[in-house]
A and B are shown apart, each in its own frame.
Chain A
Amino acid sequence: MQDQDVQPSGLTRRRVLGGMGIASLALMSSAASAQETVDLHVPGGPSTRVITTSYPQKGRMILQRSSPPWLETPFEVFDKGVFTPNDQHYVSWHWANFPGDIDVDSFRLTVRGLVNQTLSLSLKDILQELPRFDIAAVNQCAGNSRIYAVPRVAGAQWADGSMSNAIWTGVRLKDVLDRAGVRAGAIQVRFGGLDEPVMEGAPKFLKSLTIDHARDGEVMIAFAMNGEQLPLLNGFPLRLVVPGWCGVYWVKMLNDIEVLDQPDTNYWTATGYRVPDTPYNTVKPGETGFKMVPVTRNAPRSFITNIRDGDSVPAGTPASARGIAFGGDCGVARVDLSIDGGKSWQPTQLGADQGTYGFRQWQTQFTLPAHGAQTLMVRCTNTKNVAQPDFRIWNPAGYMFNTIETTHVVAA
Protein backbone atom coordinates (compact mmCIF):
# COMPACT_ATOMS: atom_id res chain seq x y z
CA MET A 1 0.00 0.00 0.00
CA GLN A 2 1.58 3.25 -1.02
CA ASP A 3 1.07 6.82 -2.09
CA GLN A 4 -2.34 7.37 -0.70
CA ASP A 5 -3.57 10.90 -0.58
CA VAL A 6 -7.00 12.06 0.31
CA GLN A 7 -9.02 12.75 -2.79
CA PRO A 8 -12.36 14.43 -3.15
CA SER A 9 -15.45 12.23 -2.74
CA GLY A 10 -13.72 9.67 -0.59
CA LEU A 11 -11.41 8.54 -3.36
CA THR A 12 -7.99 7.36 -2.37
CA ARG A 13 -5.16 6.44 -4.65
CA ARG A 14 -3.50 3.18 -5.20
CA ARG A 15 -0.60 2.31 -7.38
CA VAL A 16 -1.00 -1.37 -8.01
CA LEU A 17 -3.90 -3.09 -6.39
CA GLY A 18 -2.72 -6.33 -4.91
CA GLY A 19 -4.62 -9.56 -4.77
CA MET A 20 -6.96 -8.24 -2.12
CA GLY A 21 -8.63 -4.99 -2.95
CA ILE A 22 -9.52 -4.46 0.68
CA ALA A 23 -5.85 -3.94 1.47
CA SER A 24 -5.84 -0.71 -0.46
CA LEU A 25 -9.00 0.71 1.02
CA ALA A 26 -7.43 3.41 3.08
CA LEU A 27 -8.98 3.99 6.44
CA MET A 28 -9.39 7.67 5.95
CA SER A 29 -12.49 9.65 6.45
CA SER A 30 -13.97 10.93 3.24
CA ALA A 31 -13.68 14.67 3.30
CA ALA A 32 -16.80 15.38 1.33
CA SER A 33 -16.42 19.03 0.52
CA ALA A 34 -18.61 20.87 -1.95
CA GLN A 35 -18.74 18.65 -4.99
CA GLU A 36 -20.09 19.23 -8.44
CA THR A 37 -22.95 16.84 -9.16
CA VAL A 38 -25.17 15.94 -12.07
CA ASP A 39 -28.84 15.00 -11.96
CA LEU A 40 -29.57 12.04 -14.24
CA HIS A 41 -33.33 12.66 -13.98
CA VAL A 42 -34.29 9.12 -13.12
CA PRO A 43 -37.61 8.48 -11.42
CA GLY A 44 -37.16 6.61 -8.15
CA GLY A 45 -33.53 7.65 -7.79
CA PRO A 46 -30.83 7.76 -6.77
CA SER A 47 -30.55 10.37 -9.45
CA THR A 48 -27.55 12.43 -8.42
CA ARG A 49 -23.95 11.56 -9.23
CA VAL A 50 -20.68 13.24 -8.41
CA ILE A 51 -18.65 14.73 -11.24
CA THR A 52 -15.08 13.54 -10.75
CA THR A 53 -11.80 14.79 -12.12
CA SER A 54 -9.73 12.46 -9.91
CA TYR A 55 -8.96 9.70 -12.40
CA PRO A 56 -5.66 9.72 -14.28
CA GLN A 57 -5.80 10.97 -17.89
CA LYS A 58 -9.49 11.69 -17.44
CA GLY A 59 -11.31 14.99 -17.40
CA ARG A 60 -14.78 15.65 -16.03
CA MET A 61 -16.58 12.33 -15.74
CA ILE A 62 -19.76 11.13 -14.05
CA LEU A 63 -18.72 8.89 -11.16
CA GLN A 64 -20.91 5.79 -11.36
CA ARG A 65 -18.58 3.59 -9.32
CA SER A 66 -15.23 4.42 -7.74
CA SER A 67 -13.69 0.96 -7.94
CA PRO A 68 -13.43 -0.82 -10.25
CA PRO A 69 -14.07 2.39 -12.12
CA TRP A 70 -17.29 3.10 -13.96
CA LEU A 71 -16.88 6.60 -15.36
CA GLU A 72 -19.61 7.93 -17.62
CA THR A 73 -19.21 10.52 -20.36
CA PRO A 74 -21.22 13.65 -19.46
CA PHE A 75 -23.97 14.03 -22.04
CA GLU A 76 -23.04 17.56 -23.10
CA VAL A 77 -19.85 16.15 -24.63
CA PHE A 78 -21.95 14.58 -27.38
CA ASP A 79 -23.09 18.00 -28.58
CA LYS A 80 -19.55 19.12 -29.31
CA GLY A 81 -18.71 16.79 -32.19
CA VAL A 82 -18.75 13.19 -33.29
CA PHE A 83 -15.44 12.18 -31.74
CA THR A 84 -15.37 11.87 -27.97
CA PRO A 85 -12.20 13.36 -26.47
CA ASN A 86 -9.97 10.66 -25.01
CA ASP A 87 -10.12 12.24 -21.59
CA GLN A 88 -13.90 11.90 -21.60
CA HIS A 89 -14.21 8.49 -23.27
CA TYR A 90 -16.26 6.39 -20.84
CA VAL A 91 -14.53 3.83 -18.61
CA SER A 92 -15.77 0.45 -17.39
CA TRP A 93 -13.84 -2.33 -15.66
CA HIS A 94 -15.14 -5.63 -14.31
CA TRP A 95 -12.31 -6.36 -11.87
CA ALA A 96 -10.41 -3.88 -9.70
CA ASN A 97 -7.17 -5.76 -10.07
CA PHE A 98 -5.42 -4.19 -13.05
CA PRO A 99 -2.03 -2.49 -13.20
CA GLY A 100 -1.43 1.24 -13.10
CA ASP A 101 2.16 0.65 -14.07
CA ILE A 102 2.81 -0.65 -17.58
CA ASP A 103 6.29 -0.85 -19.08
CA VAL A 104 6.17 -0.72 -22.84
CA ASP A 105 9.48 -2.54 -23.28
CA SER A 106 8.55 -5.63 -21.31
CA PHE A 107 4.88 -5.85 -22.35
CA ARG A 108 4.10 -8.84 -24.57
CA LEU A 109 1.01 -9.96 -26.46
CA THR A 110 0.81 -13.74 -26.61
CA VAL A 111 -0.92 -15.58 -29.44
CA ARG A 112 -1.37 -19.24 -28.63
CA GLY A 113 -3.65 -22.24 -28.85
CA LEU A 114 -4.51 -23.83 -32.16
CA VAL A 115 -1.75 -22.10 -34.14
CA ASN A 116 1.33 -23.26 -35.97
CA GLN A 117 3.58 -20.99 -33.98
CA THR A 118 2.99 -19.38 -30.59
CA LEU A 119 3.80 -15.69 -30.76
CA SER A 120 5.07 -13.34 -28.11
CA LEU A 121 4.80 -9.93 -29.72
CA SER A 122 6.38 -6.79 -28.33
CA LEU A 123 4.75 -3.43 -28.80
CA LYS A 124 7.56 -2.63 -31.20
CA ASP A 125 6.60 -5.68 -33.27
CA ILE A 126 3.01 -4.50 -33.38
CA LEU A 127 3.69 -0.85 -34.10
CA GLN A 128 6.52 -1.31 -36.55
CA GLU A 129 6.15 -4.64 -38.31
CA LEU A 130 2.49 -4.95 -39.18
CA PRO A 131 0.33 -2.87 -41.51
CA ARG A 132 -1.87 -0.44 -39.63
CA PHE A 133 -5.26 1.05 -40.36
CA ASP A 134 -7.75 3.49 -38.90
CA ILE A 135 -11.42 2.90 -38.16
CA ALA A 136 -14.03 5.12 -36.53
CA ALA A 137 -16.24 3.15 -34.17
CA VAL A 138 -18.56 3.73 -31.25
CA ASN A 139 -17.63 1.84 -28.12
CA GLN A 140 -20.95 1.35 -26.32
CA CYS A 141 -21.58 -0.72 -23.20
CA ALA A 142 -24.40 -3.23 -23.65
CA GLY A 143 -25.93 -1.67 -20.52
CA ASN A 144 -25.95 1.91 -21.80
CA SER A 145 -29.12 3.72 -20.58
CA ARG A 146 -29.90 0.95 -18.06
CA ILE A 147 -30.83 3.55 -15.45
CA TYR A 148 -33.93 4.36 -17.50
CA ALA A 149 -35.26 0.77 -17.49
CA VAL A 150 -38.89 0.52 -16.35
CA PRO A 151 -39.06 -1.28 -14.02
CA ARG A 152 -35.53 -0.62 -12.82
CA VAL A 153 -32.96 -3.43 -12.86
CA ALA A 154 -29.69 -4.08 -11.03
CA GLY A 155 -26.39 -3.36 -12.73
CA ALA A 156 -24.29 -0.35 -13.64
CA GLN A 157 -26.76 2.51 -13.54
CA TRP A 158 -25.57 4.14 -16.74
CA ALA A 159 -27.49 7.05 -18.16
CA ASP A 160 -26.81 7.61 -21.87
CA GLY A 161 -23.07 8.15 -21.56
CA SER A 162 -21.56 4.68 -21.55
CA MET A 163 -20.86 5.23 -25.22
CA SER A 164 -18.00 7.05 -26.87
CA ASN A 165 -16.67 7.39 -30.40
CA ALA A 166 -13.06 7.46 -31.54
CA ILE A 167 -10.88 6.92 -34.54
CA TRP A 168 -8.96 3.84 -33.58
CA THR A 169 -5.56 3.01 -35.00
CA GLY A 170 -4.06 -0.43 -34.86
CA VAL A 171 -3.34 -3.63 -36.70
CA ARG A 172 -5.71 -6.21 -38.07
CA LEU A 173 -6.37 -9.11 -35.76
CA LYS A 174 -6.41 -11.17 -38.96
CA ASP A 175 -2.80 -10.24 -39.72
CA VAL A 176 -1.69 -11.24 -36.24
CA LEU A 177 -3.57 -14.54 -36.47
CA ASP A 178 -2.09 -15.18 -39.92
CA ARG A 179 1.37 -14.59 -38.54
CA ALA A 180 0.77 -17.27 -35.93
CA GLY A 181 -0.88 -19.55 -38.50
CA VAL A 182 -4.35 -20.66 -37.46
CA ARG A 183 -4.68 -24.41 -37.78
CA ALA A 184 -7.63 -26.33 -39.17
CA GLY A 185 -10.34 -26.92 -36.58
CA ALA A 186 -10.24 -23.45 -35.04
CA ILE A 187 -13.69 -22.41 -33.85
CA GLN A 188 -13.27 -19.33 -31.69
CA VAL A 189 -10.62 -16.86 -30.59
CA ARG A 190 -10.54 -15.86 -26.93
CA PHE A 191 -9.15 -12.58 -25.63
CA GLY A 192 -7.80 -11.72 -22.20
CA GLY A 193 -6.17 -8.67 -20.65
CA LEU A 194 -4.00 -7.74 -17.69
CA ASP A 195 -6.99 -7.41 -15.37
CA GLU A 196 -7.39 -10.25 -12.88
CA PRO A 197 -10.22 -11.22 -10.55
CA VAL A 198 -9.87 -10.14 -6.95
CA MET A 199 -11.28 -13.35 -5.46
CA GLU A 200 -9.66 -16.71 -5.87
CA GLY A 201 -11.64 -18.90 -8.22
CA ALA A 202 -13.56 -16.00 -9.70
CA PRO A 203 -13.74 -15.98 -13.49
CA LYS A 204 -11.05 -13.99 -15.24
CA PHE A 205 -12.58 -11.53 -17.68
CA LEU A 206 -12.36 -13.14 -21.13
CA LYS A 207 -14.44 -12.78 -24.29
CA SER A 208 -14.44 -14.76 -27.49
CA LEU A 209 -15.34 -14.20 -31.12
CA THR A 210 -15.92 -16.80 -33.81
CA ILE A 211 -12.88 -17.50 -35.95
CA ASP A 212 -14.58 -16.00 -39.01
CA HIS A 213 -15.41 -12.79 -37.17
CA ALA A 214 -11.88 -12.61 -35.80
CA ARG A 215 -10.53 -12.86 -39.33
CA ASP A 216 -12.94 -10.42 -41.01
CA GLY A 217 -10.26 -7.76 -41.44
CA GLU A 218 -12.16 -5.16 -39.38
CA VAL A 219 -11.50 -6.43 -35.88
CA MET A 220 -8.50 -4.46 -34.68
CA ILE A 221 -5.82 -4.63 -32.06
CA ALA A 222 -5.74 -0.91 -31.32
CA PHE A 223 -2.78 1.00 -29.93
CA ALA A 224 -4.12 4.49 -30.47
CA MET A 225 -7.38 6.40 -30.30
CA ASN A 226 -7.85 9.82 -31.84
CA GLY A 227 -4.17 9.84 -32.72
CA GLU A 228 -2.81 9.23 -29.23
CA GLN A 229 -1.88 6.17 -27.22
CA LEU A 230 -4.79 4.77 -25.22
CA PRO A 231 -5.43 6.18 -21.76
CA LEU A 232 -4.64 3.56 -19.10
CA LEU A 233 -8.30 3.29 -18.13
CA ASN A 234 -9.32 2.71 -21.75
CA GLY A 235 -6.98 -0.24 -22.08
CA PHE A 236 -3.39 0.91 -22.57
CA PRO A 237 -1.33 -0.35 -24.28
CA LEU A 238 -3.58 -2.49 -26.53
CA ARG A 239 -7.27 -3.12 -26.72
CA LEU A 240 -9.45 -5.10 -29.04
CA VAL A 241 -11.77 -3.02 -31.21
CA VAL A 242 -14.76 -4.91 -32.55
CA PRO A 243 -16.55 -2.40 -34.80
CA GLY A 244 -20.33 -2.57 -34.50
CA TRP A 245 -20.25 -4.85 -31.47
CA CYS A 246 -20.88 -4.09 -27.80
CA GLY A 247 -18.03 -2.76 -25.70
CA VAL A 248 -17.79 -5.93 -23.62
CA TYR A 249 -15.94 -7.52 -26.53
CA TRP A 250 -13.40 -4.72 -26.68
CA VAL A 251 -10.97 -6.37 -24.26
CA LYS A 252 -8.68 -3.82 -22.60
CA MET A 253 -4.97 -4.22 -21.78
CA LEU A 254 -5.10 -7.09 -24.26
CA ASN A 255 -2.16 -9.42 -23.69
CA ASP A 256 -3.48 -12.88 -24.52
CA ILE A 257 -5.10 -14.29 -27.65
CA GLU A 258 -5.99 -17.96 -27.65
CA VAL A 259 -7.28 -19.82 -30.68
CA LEU A 260 -9.78 -22.44 -29.50
CA ASP A 261 -10.83 -25.73 -31.03
CA GLN A 262 -13.88 -25.89 -28.76
CA PRO A 263 -16.57 -23.34 -27.92
CA ASP A 264 -15.44 -21.06 -25.09
CA THR A 265 -17.01 -22.15 -21.81
CA ASN A 266 -15.69 -19.33 -19.60
CA TYR A 267 -18.30 -17.42 -17.59
CA TRP A 268 -18.14 -14.14 -19.51
CA THR A 269 -18.64 -15.79 -22.88
CA ALA A 270 -20.90 -18.70 -21.96
CA THR A 271 -23.04 -17.26 -19.16
CA GLY A 272 -22.72 -13.51 -18.66
CA TYR A 273 -24.11 -10.72 -20.83
CA ARG A 274 -27.31 -12.48 -21.91
CA VAL A 275 -30.46 -11.07 -23.50
CA PRO A 276 -33.76 -12.72 -24.45
CA ASP A 277 -33.72 -14.20 -27.93
CA THR A 278 -36.74 -12.13 -28.94
CA PRO A 279 -37.18 -9.26 -31.41
CA TYR A 280 -35.35 -6.22 -29.98
CA ASN A 281 -34.34 -8.46 -27.04
CA THR A 282 -37.45 -7.28 -25.27
CA VAL A 283 -39.77 -9.17 -22.91
CA LYS A 284 -42.45 -8.24 -20.39
CA PRO A 285 -41.33 -7.94 -16.78
CA GLY A 286 -42.02 -11.26 -15.08
CA GLU A 287 -42.25 -13.13 -18.37
CA THR A 288 -40.41 -16.47 -18.46
CA GLY A 289 -39.70 -19.27 -20.87
CA PHE A 290 -37.59 -17.42 -23.42
CA LYS A 291 -34.15 -18.50 -24.59
CA MET A 292 -31.18 -16.34 -23.62
CA VAL A 293 -28.44 -15.44 -26.10
CA PRO A 294 -25.26 -13.34 -25.81
CA VAL A 295 -25.27 -9.62 -26.51
CA THR A 296 -23.45 -9.08 -29.79
CA ARG A 297 -24.12 -6.26 -32.25
CA ASN A 298 -25.02 -2.70 -31.45
CA ALA A 299 -28.45 -1.48 -32.51
CA PRO A 300 -29.25 1.92 -34.06
CA ARG A 301 -29.61 4.87 -31.71
CA SER A 302 -30.00 8.62 -31.96
CA PHE A 303 -30.07 11.51 -29.53
CA ILE A 304 -30.92 15.19 -29.51
CA THR A 305 -27.88 16.85 -27.99
CA ASN A 306 -28.70 20.57 -28.00
CA ILE A 307 -32.09 20.41 -26.28
CA ARG A 308 -32.49 18.69 -22.94
CA ASP A 309 -35.55 17.43 -21.14
CA GLY A 310 -37.42 20.33 -19.56
CA ASP A 311 -35.91 22.99 -21.82
CA SER A 312 -37.98 25.86 -23.08
CA VAL A 313 -38.28 26.22 -26.87
CA PRO A 314 -39.89 29.18 -28.64
CA ALA A 315 -43.30 28.44 -30.20
CA GLY A 316 -44.26 29.57 -33.69
CA THR A 317 -40.74 30.31 -34.80
CA PRO A 318 -38.08 28.06 -36.28
CA ALA A 319 -35.73 26.41 -33.83
CA SER A 320 -32.69 24.22 -34.42
CA ALA A 321 -32.32 20.65 -33.30
CA ARG A 322 -29.15 18.68 -33.68
CA GLY A 323 -27.63 15.55 -32.30
CA ILE A 324 -25.82 12.35 -32.99
CA ALA A 325 -26.82 8.95 -34.31
CA PHE A 326 -25.16 5.67 -35.01
CA GLY A 327 -26.37 2.72 -37.02
CA GLY A 328 -25.16 0.05 -34.61
CA ASP A 329 -23.56 -2.65 -36.72
CA CYS A 330 -23.73 -0.60 -39.94
CA GLY A 331 -24.07 3.00 -41.08
CA VAL A 332 -26.80 5.58 -40.59
CA ALA A 333 -29.30 5.79 -43.47
CA ARG A 334 -31.52 8.53 -42.03
CA VAL A 335 -32.51 10.31 -38.88
CA ASP A 336 -36.05 11.65 -38.50
CA LEU A 337 -37.51 14.07 -36.01
CA SER A 338 -41.05 14.13 -34.66
CA ILE A 339 -42.53 17.11 -32.88
CA ASP A 340 -45.97 15.55 -32.33
CA GLY A 341 -45.22 12.54 -30.17
CA GLY A 342 -44.35 10.21 -33.04
CA LYS A 343 -47.44 10.72 -35.23
CA SER A 344 -45.46 12.31 -38.05
CA TRP A 345 -41.78 12.50 -38.85
CA GLN A 346 -39.63 14.95 -40.73
CA PRO A 347 -36.24 14.10 -42.21
CA THR A 348 -33.09 15.71 -40.87
CA GLN A 349 -29.86 16.58 -42.64
CA LEU A 350 -26.96 14.28 -41.89
CA GLY A 351 -23.48 15.64 -41.29
CA ALA A 352 -20.39 14.25 -42.95
CA ASP A 353 -19.94 10.49 -42.85
CA GLN A 354 -16.81 10.04 -40.75
CA GLY A 355 -16.95 6.26 -40.55
CA THR A 356 -19.62 3.59 -40.84
CA TYR A 357 -19.45 2.54 -37.21
CA GLY A 358 -19.01 5.98 -35.72
CA PHE A 359 -21.36 8.72 -34.60
CA ARG A 360 -22.95 10.82 -37.31
CA GLN A 361 -24.28 14.27 -36.67
CA TRP A 362 -27.75 15.30 -37.79
CA GLN A 363 -29.51 18.64 -37.67
CA THR A 364 -32.79 20.20 -38.69
CA GLN A 365 -35.15 23.11 -38.13
CA PHE A 366 -38.55 22.69 -36.56
CA THR A 367 -41.38 24.94 -35.50
CA LEU A 368 -43.53 24.08 -32.53
CA PRO A 369 -47.07 25.20 -33.45
CA ALA A 370 -48.50 25.78 -30.00
CA HIS A 371 -47.52 26.85 -26.54
CA GLY A 372 -47.28 24.36 -23.71
CA ALA A 373 -45.83 20.92 -23.20
CA GLN A 374 -44.47 19.35 -26.38
CA THR A 375 -42.66 16.14 -27.16
CA LEU A 376 -39.65 15.82 -29.45
CA MET A 377 -38.59 12.40 -30.67
CA VAL A 378 -35.66 11.33 -32.80
CA ARG A 379 -35.34 8.08 -34.74
CA CYS A 380 -32.38 6.54 -36.53
CA THR A 381 -32.84 4.10 -39.39
CA ASN A 382 -29.65 2.26 -40.29
CA THR A 383 -28.35 1.14 -43.67
CA LYS A 384 -29.80 -2.33 -43.05
CA ASN A 385 -33.18 -0.56 -42.85
CA VAL A 386 -33.51 -1.28 -39.13
CA ALA A 387 -35.13 1.58 -37.25
CA GLN A 388 -35.28 2.30 -33.55
CA PRO A 389 -38.54 0.92 -32.10
CA ASP A 390 -41.20 3.15 -30.56
CA PHE A 391 -42.05 0.69 -27.76
CA ARG A 392 -40.12 0.53 -24.55
CA ILE A 393 -37.46 -2.21 -24.66
CA TRP A 394 -37.03 -4.09 -21.39
CA ASN A 395 -35.12 -7.20 -20.39
CA PRO A 396 -34.01 -8.50 -16.98
CA ALA A 397 -30.42 -7.25 -17.21
CA GLY A 398 -31.15 -3.95 -18.92
CA TYR A 399 -29.12 -4.55 -22.06
CA MET A 400 -29.41 -3.26 -25.61
CA PHE A 401 -31.87 -0.45 -24.99
CA ASN A 402 -32.46 1.46 -28.22
CA THR A 403 -36.01 2.73 -27.96
CA ILE A 404 -36.66 6.07 -29.70
CA GLU A 405 -35.59 8.85 -27.35
CA THR A 406 -38.17 11.36 -26.18
CA THR A 407 -37.39 14.90 -25.04
CA HIS A 408 -40.07 16.83 -23.22
CA VAL A 409 -39.94 20.56 -23.82
CA VAL A 410 -42.09 23.57 -23.07
CA ALA A 411 -42.99 25.74 -26.04
CA ALA A 412 -43.05 29.33 -24.85
Chain B
Amino acid sequence: MLRAVLSTVTVLGLALLPYPGQAASITTLKSLKLDVPTSDTMFPAGPGSDAINNNCLACHSADHVLNQPSLSREAWQEVVNKMITAYKAPVSPDDAKAIVDYLVRTKGTS
Protein backbone atom coordinates (compact mmCIF):
# COMPACT_ATOMS: atom_id res chain seq x y z
CA MET B 1 0.00 0.00 0.00
CA LEU B 2 2.85 2.33 0.83
CA ARG B 3 4.19 1.67 -2.64
CA ALA B 4 0.84 2.50 -4.20
CA VAL B 5 0.63 5.76 -2.29
CA LEU B 6 4.14 6.74 -3.25
CA SER B 7 3.57 6.17 -6.92
CA THR B 8 0.34 8.17 -6.76
CA VAL B 9 2.27 11.07 -5.32
CA THR B 10 4.88 10.72 -8.01
CA VAL B 11 2.34 10.83 -10.78
CA LEU B 12 0.44 13.78 -9.36
CA GLY B 13 3.77 15.52 -8.99
CA LEU B 14 4.30 15.09 -12.70
CA ALA B 15 0.90 16.56 -13.39
CA LEU B 16 1.60 19.60 -11.28
CA LEU B 17 4.15 21.02 -13.63
CA PRO B 18 4.78 24.68 -13.12
CA TYR B 19 3.40 27.06 -15.67
CA PRO B 20 5.92 26.50 -18.43
CA GLY B 21 6.69 30.08 -19.24
CA GLN B 22 5.97 33.71 -18.70
CA ALA B 23 4.30 34.55 -21.94
CA ALA B 24 3.19 37.93 -20.72
CA SER B 25 6.82 39.00 -20.61
CA ILE B 26 7.33 38.57 -24.33
CA THR B 27 7.16 41.98 -25.96
CA THR B 28 9.39 41.44 -28.96
CA LEU B 29 10.38 38.56 -31.19
CA LYS B 30 13.89 37.85 -32.43
CA SER B 31 14.58 37.42 -36.14
CA LEU B 32 15.61 33.95 -37.25
CA LYS B 33 18.07 32.89 -39.90
CA LEU B 34 18.25 29.12 -39.88
CA ASP B 35 19.30 26.33 -42.17
CA VAL B 36 16.66 23.68 -42.67
CA PRO B 37 18.00 20.30 -43.78
CA THR B 38 17.01 18.69 -47.02
CA SER B 39 18.04 15.28 -48.29
CA ASP B 40 20.28 14.10 -51.10
CA THR B 41 19.17 10.49 -50.90
CA MET B 42 18.15 8.98 -54.22
CA PHE B 43 15.83 6.04 -54.81
CA PRO B 44 17.47 2.62 -54.97
CA ALA B 45 18.65 1.97 -58.52
CA GLY B 46 16.60 -0.26 -60.77
CA PRO B 47 14.15 -0.11 -63.65
CA GLY B 48 12.33 3.21 -63.42
CA SER B 49 14.60 4.76 -60.81
CA ASP B 50 15.57 7.55 -63.22
CA ALA B 51 11.91 8.42 -63.69
CA ILE B 52 11.15 8.52 -59.99
CA ASN B 53 14.35 10.44 -59.16
CA ASN B 54 13.74 13.00 -61.90
CA ASN B 55 10.05 13.58 -61.25
CA CYS B 56 9.49 13.16 -57.54
CA LEU B 57 12.42 14.63 -55.62
CA ALA B 58 11.67 18.24 -56.52
CA CYS B 59 8.75 18.34 -54.09
CA HIS B 60 9.69 15.75 -51.47
CA SER B 61 12.61 13.65 -50.34
CA ALA B 62 12.83 9.95 -51.15
CA ASP B 63 12.10 8.90 -47.56
CA HIS B 64 8.55 10.17 -48.07
CA VAL B 65 8.07 7.22 -50.41
CA LEU B 66 10.45 4.73 -48.82
CA ASN B 67 8.57 4.98 -45.51
CA GLN B 68 5.23 4.13 -47.14
CA PRO B 69 3.72 0.67 -46.66
CA SER B 70 3.42 -1.88 -49.43
CA LEU B 71 0.41 -0.95 -51.52
CA SER B 72 -1.47 -2.42 -54.45
CA ARG B 73 -0.88 -1.28 -58.02
CA GLU B 74 -4.25 0.49 -57.91
CA ALA B 75 -3.25 2.37 -54.76
CA TRP B 76 0.12 3.41 -56.21
CA GLN B 77 -1.57 4.51 -59.42
CA GLU B 78 -3.92 6.63 -57.33
CA VAL B 79 -0.99 8.20 -55.47
CA VAL B 80 0.81 9.09 -58.71
CA ASN B 81 -2.40 10.44 -60.22
CA LYS B 82 -2.91 12.66 -57.17
CA MET B 83 0.62 14.04 -57.46
CA ILE B 84 -0.09 14.97 -61.08
CA THR B 85 -3.65 16.25 -60.85
CA ALA B 86 -3.84 17.76 -57.37
CA TYR B 87 -0.22 18.79 -56.81
CA LYS B 88 0.65 19.57 -60.44
CA ALA B 89 3.74 17.40 -60.74
CA PRO B 90 4.70 17.71 -64.44
CA VAL B 91 5.08 13.99 -65.11
CA SER B 92 4.82 12.61 -68.65
CA PRO B 93 2.52 9.61 -69.20
CA ASP B 94 5.54 7.39 -69.93
CA ASP B 95 7.28 8.47 -66.75
CA ALA B 96 4.08 8.06 -64.73
CA LYS B 97 3.86 4.47 -65.90
CA ALA B 98 7.53 3.87 -65.10
CA ILE B 99 7.06 5.36 -61.63
CA VAL B 100 4.03 3.21 -60.87
CA ASP B 101 5.91 0.12 -62.09
CA TYR B 102 8.89 1.06 -59.92
CA LEU B 103 6.65 1.51 -56.86
CA VAL B 104 4.84 -1.77 -57.45
CA ARG B 105 8.15 -3.59 -57.91
CA THR B 106 9.79 -2.12 -54.83
CA LYS B 107 6.80 -1.43 -52.58
CA GLY B 108 3.96 -3.48 -53.98
CA THR B 109 1.70 -6.00 -52.37
CA SER B 110 2.45 -9.50 -53.55
Contact = CB atoms under 8 A, between A and B. Distances in A.
B34 interface: yes
B11 to A, nearest CB: 4
Interface string B26-67: 111111111111111100000000000000011111011011
A351 B14 contact: yes
A82 interface: yes
B40 A224 contact: no
Interface residues of A, number: 92
Contact of A201 (B59, B68, B88): B88
A49 interface: yes
A49 B37 contact: no
B40 A25 contact: yes
A80 B20 CA distance: 13
Nearest to A28: B40
Contacts of A100: 32-36
B35 A21 contact: no
Given A65-B61, A272-B86, A351-B11, A56 B36 contact: yes
B68 A157 contact: yes
A267 B86 contact: yes
A356 to B, nearest CB: 16
Contacts of A229: 26, 29-30
A45 B69 contact: yes
A316 interface: no
Nearest to A48: B67
Contacts of B15: 81-82, 351-352, 354, 361
Given A22-B57, A27-B40, A46 B67 contact: yes
Contact of B35 (A15, A67, A152, A199): A15
Interface string A43-81: 011100100001111000001111111100000000011
Interface stretch (A102-110, A209-217, A368-376): A102-110
Interface string A245-270: 00000000000000000000001000
B12 A351 contact: yes
Nearest to A70: B64
Contact of A363 (B8, B40, B41, B79): B8
Given A21-B58, A30-B40, A56 B8 contact: no
A154 interface: yes
A70 to B, nearest CB: 8
A116 interface: no
Interface of B: 3-4, 7-8, 11-12, 14-17, 19-41, 57-61, 63-64, 66-71, 75, 78-79, 86-90
Nearest 5 A-B pairs (CB), nearest first? A227-B21, A351-B15, A169-B23, A66-B39, A152-B69
Given A22-B57, A66-B41, A232-B32, 8 more contacts: A7-B37, A20-B58, A65-B64, A69-B37, A100-B34, A153-B69, A198-B59, A227-B23
20 contacts: A9-B39, A21-B58, A26-B38, A44-B70, A66-B63, A67-B61, A82-B15, A105-B31, A154-B75, A157-B67, A157-B69, A169-B24, A197-B87, A198-B59, A202-B87, A232-B34, A236-B32, A351-B14, A352-B15, A363-B11
